[in-house]
Structure 1
């Protein structure tokens, strides 16, 4: 098994889910990995695959950076598929957040996930492991080719543009702040 597989299992086994619903997802993710091994991490796995994301927050300014995803056409946190060079879920989430936001110097709010979210996408089910990342002061985001738009939203504005998953991720991130 790969280092990423070992990390994913370790993260999910050690994570204290904040609710019974989240614990069910945690166990489902572990069962998915146990049944598929490394294959369960990668995009070609049509039964679904682990993804990693990070909500980029700027606590002093009470705002969050969201991307208007080019394929899904929804305002989302940064994130996506694990890559062969990834050795840890947290590192994959930070890599994705950096690539999609153009913000150098992002750092995770905590080494453990904030929450889990399973959702259907055009390629397969995403078993998303969601983190939070802190934006460096005065950093200017740069839109990637995966986005139609990239924009800061005040915490109170997120409910008007994002789905329940993003709203919940923001609420749980704010509770950690």
Structure 2
């Protein structure tokens, strides 16, 4: 199965928490149907990306990266690569690379937590981000990567003060799924 086919299956199975998320799922599926290259950065009409919010439920905190190009505190994530077999695998690869947590991260069961479509500068138009959550093991030690300006754990209640609405909504959706 190709990464494109995997993404279609993942999105078809994604139920979304509300009507906005379900409508966005349809936008993603239409985009994938229209663009065979939609999984990769060269797709100028927009491309699917995978991200993961690294969360420590026991500690009540999340790990955010200060994005080098955007200067924003964000979840770990980025572009799919030719070696990625699945969308979940791409999100997990990005989480490991950007968090520096070499072992023990596990994706939260149940597939993606939410979807976020946001504009990006030319030559591309959109990131169609499929957002997962990655559970960090107790005592996980993060290590900054070359893709970040900084990397820091934030208590749940601190996130709204440092991150944009998308990250806050991702944290809320993750906590709802965890029952936390």
TM-score, length-scaled by structure 2: 0.95
Work out the CA distance in 2 between the residues paired with 1:33 and 1:173.
25
Work out the CA distance in 2 between the residues paired with 1:154 and 1:17.
25
Q: How does 1:61-100 map to 2 (within 5 A)?
A: 61-100=59-98
Gaps of at least 5 residues in structure 1 are none
Q: How does 1:6-155 map to 2 (within 5 A)?
A: 6-37=5-36, 39-104=37-102, 105-122=104-121, 124=124, 125-155=126-156
Gaps of at least 5 residues in structure 2 are none
Cα RMSD for the two superposed structures:
1.0
- The structure where helix makes up a greater share of residues is 1
The list of structure 1 runs, each at least 4 consecutive aligned residues, that deviate by more than 6 angstroms after superposition, is: none
Work out the CA distance in 1 between the residues paired with 2:59 and 2:139.
10
For 1:83, what is the secondary structure of its paired residue?
A: coil
Q: How far off is 1:111 after superposition? A: 4.2
Work out the CA distance in 1 between the residues paired with 2:173 and 2:57.
13
Q: How far off is 1:122 after superposition? A: 2.7
TM-score, length-scaled by structure 1: 0.96
1:104-127 CA-partner distances (Å, limit 9, x unpaired): 221001141000000112353100
When the two structures are aligned, how many residues end up with a matched partner? 175
